[in-house]
Structure 1
Amino acid sequence: MGLKELVLLQFIAHLCLDYFFQTDKLAKQKNTIGFKSSFLYWHGLACFALAWLFSLQLSFAFAAAIIAITHFLIDGFKRYLNNSKNFGRYAFFIDQAAHLAILTLVVILYERWNGINLSVDVSINFKYLLIVTGYLVCLKPANIFIREVFKVTEIQVSSDNEMPNAGKVIGVLERILTLTLIIVLQYSAVGFLIAAKSILRYGNNETLKTEYVLIGTMLSFGIAVIAGIIINFF
């Protein structure tokens, strides 16, 4: 295993921690009251455990502790960022960029100073790891990213006749299908998928709702397409 595999493993650990191992309710509590949230401390411990576990190296404990402490501090101070008039709407993007930048820097420094010495005998293929990462991104992280884009751009459309969370499920399914089709180089099928959704979802006279769905669809397909291009590049 080399540096790029270790970075990807830590990225996967971050995805699990911030998107799959915490509910929206707990995340909101953490972001609202900061260091007063008891969940924040458990979140920090989970960050350390996942970073250490996904490193596959006992010697990574100190690096995992740095990642966990910085993650804890960033999340703790995020409440002040959320309340900022100038940067509040960008809090999610600043928060995630800071986490990923620190994570990457710590891994690079660890590799230079300590080297990579696996504690378990396992072979890791970078492309397969990248594929797993792509599919994980296309699940809950992509839904939250799209929601935050709408928040930043102040796009809101109320709808009383749609199933709760139906849009999230549709988004996940379309991204998984799109990513799979791109990985197997079936680009024409992606166009067919977009056309099929256009027929089903845009055949109404509600202009605002149609534009809302169109933006969400383009963001959703865009995430999957970019992920597929990156995977195929490597």
Structure 2
Amino acid sequence: MDFKTFLLLQFLAHLCLDYFFQTDKLAQNKNSIGFKSNFLYWHALLCFGLSWLFSLQFDFLWGAAIIGATHFIIDGFKKNLCNSNLLGKYAFFIDQALHLLVLFIVAFFFDKFQGINPTVHISFNFKYLLIITAYLVCLKPANIFIKEVFSSTNIMVSSDNEMPNAGKVIGMLERILTLTFIIVSQYSAVGFLIAAKSILRYGNNETLKTEYVLIGTMLSFGIAVITGIIINLF
């Protein structure tokens, strides 16, 4: 296993931990009361377990412990970050950047000083692993990222006549389709998808709502396009 595959596996562990293995309610509990949250301790323990499991080697025990401990500290202090007048609106982005920085630093120094020698030998195709990661990113993580962009820029529009969570489902579907089209080099189909959504969603006189949907659509397609380009680079 090379360094980039090892790092990607650690990123996959982080995706599972922070986006798929915790509900919005539990995340809010953790963010609002910090170190007083019982869930935070289970979250940190799960972080350690997933990091160690995805490393596929026993010797990464200390690396997983560092990742779990720093995850606990960063999430514990996120309450203070959220309450900051200056940085509060950017708490999500700072939190995620710190977690990813820790992952890179620990993986880098582990590779440099101990070496990546998996206890469990599994042959990974890096591109296929990258594709799986890209599809996961286009699901719940992308929805949360877009929501946080709206929140940090104070963009809010009421939607009294829409089905609850419909926008999230539509966003996930369009990103999955867009990513698939880019992977198979069907770029014209991406243009058709954007045009079709434009006709269906923008044909109304609600200017504010139209601009809100346009921003969300551009962010959504942008995430899928960028992940598709990264995959094609490999």
Query: Does 1:23 pair with 2:27?
Result: no
- Which SS does the other structure have where 1:116 is aligned? coil
Pairwise CA distance, 1:189: 0.4
Q: How many Å separate the matches in 2 of 1:121 and 1:51?
A: 17
The one-letter code matched in structure 1 to 2:33 is I
Q: Which position in structure 1 is the counterpart of 2:167? A: 167
Q: Which position in structure 1 is the counterpart of 2:178? A: 178
- Which SS does the other structure have where 2:224 is aligned? helix
Deviations 1:93-126 (A, max 9, x none): 0000000001111000000111111111210111
Deviations 1:151-207 (A, max 9, x none): 111000001110000000000000000000000000010000000000000000000
The one-letter code matched in structure 1 to 2:144 is I
The one-letter code matched in structure 1 to 2:70 is T
34-43 or 113-122, larger mean C-alpha shift = 113-122
Instruction: Report the TM-score when normalising by structure 2.
Output: 0.99
The one-letter code matched in structure 2 to 1:44 is A
Q: Which runs of 4+ in 1 moved over 3 A?
A: none
Q: How many Å separate the matches in 2 of 1:146 and 1:164?
A: 16
Q: Which position in structure 1 is the counterpart of 2:205? A: 205
Query: Does 1:73 pair with 2:73?
Result: yes
- Which SS does the other structure have where 1:158 is aligned? coil
The one-letter code matched in structure 2 to 1:194 is I
User: Equivalent pairs: percent with the same residue?
Assistant: 75
Q: Which position in structure 2 is the counterpart of 1:103? A: 103
Q: How many Å separate the matches in 1 of 2:19 and 2:34?
A: 18
Instruction: Report the TM-score when normalising by structure 1.
Output: 0.99
Question: In the comparison of the two structures, how many residue pairs are matched?
Answer: 234
Q: How many Å separate the matches in 2 of 1:76 and 1:183?
A: 39
Q: Which position in structure 2 is the counterpart of 1:62? A: 62
Aligned alpha-carbon RMSD (Å)? 0.4
The one-letter code matched in structure 2 to 1:134 is A
Q: Which position in structure 2 is the counterpart of 1:50? A: 50
Deviations 1:31-66 (A, max 9, x none): 000000000000000000000000000111100000
Alignment of 1:84-163 (within 5 A): 84-163=84-163
Consecutive unaligned residues of structure 1, counting only runs of 5 or more, are none
- Which SS does the other structure have where 1:205 is aligned? coil
Q: Which position in structure 2 is the counterpart of 1:220? A: 220
Q: How many Å separate the matches in 2 of 1:65 and 1:180?
A: 36
- Which SS does the other structure have where 1:80 is aligned? helix
The one-letter code matched in structure 2 to 1:196 is A
Consecutive unaligned residues of structure 2, counting only runs of 5 or more, are none
The one-letter code matched in structure 1 to 2:187 is Y
Q: Which position in structure 2 is the counterpart of 1:32? A: 32
Q: How many Å separate the matches in 2 of 1:6 and 1:224?
A: 23
- Which SS does the other structure have where 1:86 is aligned? coil
The one-letter code matched in structure 1 to 2:63 is A
Q: Which position in structure 1 is the counterpart of 2:190? A: 190
Q: How many Å separate the matches in 2 of 1:166 and 1:119?
A: 44
Q: How many Å separate the matches in 2 of 1:110 and 1:229?
A: 29
Q: How many Å separate the matches in 1 of 2:118 and 2:21?
A: 26
